[in-house]
Structure 1
Amino acid sequence: MKVLNLWITLLALSSISYADENSSESLEGYISDSKQKQFDYTYEKNEAESSKLRDSWISPFSLSYTFSKNKQDSEAIGTTAAKESEWDQESASISWSQTVFQSGGIYYGIKYAEASGKYADLSVDVTKRKLVKDTISILMQIKQIDLKIERQNLQIKNAEIALEQKKEQYLNGQLDSSFLDNAIIDRNLVIQALYDIETNKERLISKFEALSDMDYKQAAIPRLDLLDKKNFLSNNIVLKMNESEIEKNNYFKDVTTAKYLPKISFNAGYTWQAETKILGSFDKAENTSYNYGVTASIPLDINTFDDISSSRIEYLKSKVVIEDKKRELSAIYDQVMQNIDNLEKKKQLSIENKDIYEKLLDETKELFAAGYKTEYDVDLLRNSYEIAGIDFKIYEIDKQLELLTLYEMYKKD
């Protein structure tokens, strides 16, 4: 049994290059630098937007300056005397109205901004992990196709051997032409299947090169470990995003309610005015004024109840959504585990097949040496023996692709 387990391990590792780490950072290293930078800029933008929203309760100062030039001509009735006057006017002002109390709205607004920033970052995490998963999945499929090409070439060899055997039997009068015709068709089918596999490989290579800077020939696929359900759900970025949405909607509900409660604002202003006489009786006159005070207000809006009710319903809905998402993710986990269990059975079957072919190959070699079997028989069994080994490796990559479905949403803090 120990020998069999060692054989399984060697089959899984041979001819497949794996990366050793399962960390999020190592998985994200598969996407290109340009795409990584796009995500980095998105994170930076989220931070800036969150800061802007957090400080939105601070009112701006209003500054203004005005300059005008005035000219006036006047003439008294019954005389020819005319008067002309010209002067410049300047004015400047600064005003500020700042809410200092809003029934908790300022506090909830700051918390809502922080929760919104966290939710935005987690949304980017989900998008990024989807891209990482797609990139690694394509690379795994390329590696798997290399195995399928190797397997298909062995099947072509077997089809060619079968064709040669049918030719000899036909020429010896042992078979009619229909058997020979079927052998030719079978050979053509496996060759055509190889062409389809190679075409699919080129398509995948093109997709991979659009997503990653790595050379697919040199890139190693990650070896992903099994995750238990508790670990998968507790470190699931989709659930964390839903939890963050609940927090965000909760604070938004409080912000909406506070919007319709009493608030107190501090008001202040300063104004400067000046007139400079160019033609007239005075040279310059200046005037300054300032004001400050406190305003208490409460909005009376016919839509108050509906607005508050809408934000509350959105909060309650997000709490229901996360429970539904937990159930969905739990079902996905169970399905992946079921698929992996079936793949393990297929792997075990390929090992059993390889063991059978190995014994048959040894016996056929002895019969060939004794003149009872042909070289064709030996080659057929040797190819079938190698195909069984390749099948094991193909199933192992299928298993890694299933685990990748879980790792797409798995990220440890």
Structure 2
Amino acid sequence: MQLELDQIQGTVLRDRPMPYVGAYLLYQIDDADQARRMLRRLIPYVTTAADWQGPDAGAWLNIVFTHPGLRALGLPRDILDGFPREFREPMRTRKEFLGDLGDSDPGNWDLPGRGRFDVGLLLMAPDQAAFDAKLAIGHGAQADLDGITRVDRLDIRTPENLREHFGFVDGISRPFIEGQGGEPKPGQAVTKAGEFLLGYVNELGHVATGPGPQALWRNGTYLSIRKLHQNVAMFRRFLKDHAQDADGEELLAAKMVGRWRSGCPLALSPDKDTPRDPARLNDFAYRDDDPDGRKTPPGSHIRRVNPRDALTDTIVDARLHRLLRRGAAYGPMLPEGVLDDDGVPRGAVLAFVNADPGRQFEFVQSQWINDGNFISAGTDQDPIAGSHVTDSDFAYPARPVRRRLRGLPAFVVTRGGEHVFLPGISGLRHLAGATAG
């Protein structure tokens, strides 16, 4: 089934430009009529998955809503109550389940700055001029509406070395969505559209739906947004303290992530970082080629969040927990070689596209990142993304004996998060004309 590209907001299917300049603009709604007026002004400028040609290619403006935001717009109670529990409840209230403890506790969050937002604009562009043009549209739509208050802005930008803050090439692995058009790359898993978009069949064989009229939810989805601070100096010191030389540091970093910093996977080059065809960086599996994790450790980051075929003989079907990850960096790079923290905020904002936040993002976060039972690793967590508020080790096969690193610190800590609803174009129009019920 071909997807309705002109009805789907662009961030779902289209990759970010590289390099990129962008921002998250967050607003609070105090006047529903003014909020609907703002929406009507913005809708003609919302970028769809079909809008990827011409002079504006690669720049987009998309709109998301929190559950309180939909309530503030006047959606009836029966529709509001029909949304998934994970979306209805603030993410900060789910801290125990998601592992947002210790330094990641919501009491330390700074996004949004005032603790709540109702509507968000996601802006992305390949250069400053294109970004400024999108920003002007957002500002213009809200400028004379005092019933809409901007409560936060987070700027995102490509780091100087075109990599994420730990030094790894980012944005390599993503599923190919059935019906999106084109052909999958070698090794790219083809996934039912209903895993990421409402109104289409999912991997369970059901049509993913939402509450209320079809116009509200068809071609929409949920983004599970996380603002993550990266302790870069801590990561560098850890590598130095547990390796004998620079080559050993690079190997250890690769073992923890599952890829070399260039993006080359250990599955294809386990002993050294070897240049590879970018189109083939996902052309590998685990079950037959690396069942014991001698190349890619079972506990490494990429093997945890996407086990591929490694769980074939278990009761867990990895296809039911796929995520489509959109990531962008914030804050300046820590200069190369610096091992002391400078106190400057830096990290990533991740937006996980999923049609079922409980079965997808929250399952992966709670069971695969912050628990090790599914790979018989007890309480050991993801070495990169785990919360590590309790003792957590990282072990991997090595010669002559298995290596175990004890007491991993929290290299990544949560600084904000929320499940948001990203409607299709018909859903935006419905909300722009919605009245209280």
Is the TM value for this pair above 0.5?
no
TM-score range, shorter chain: under 0.3
Greater radius of gyration (CA):
1
Normalized per residue, the structure richer in helix is: 1
Taking structure 2 as the reference length, what is the TM-score of the superposition? 0.20
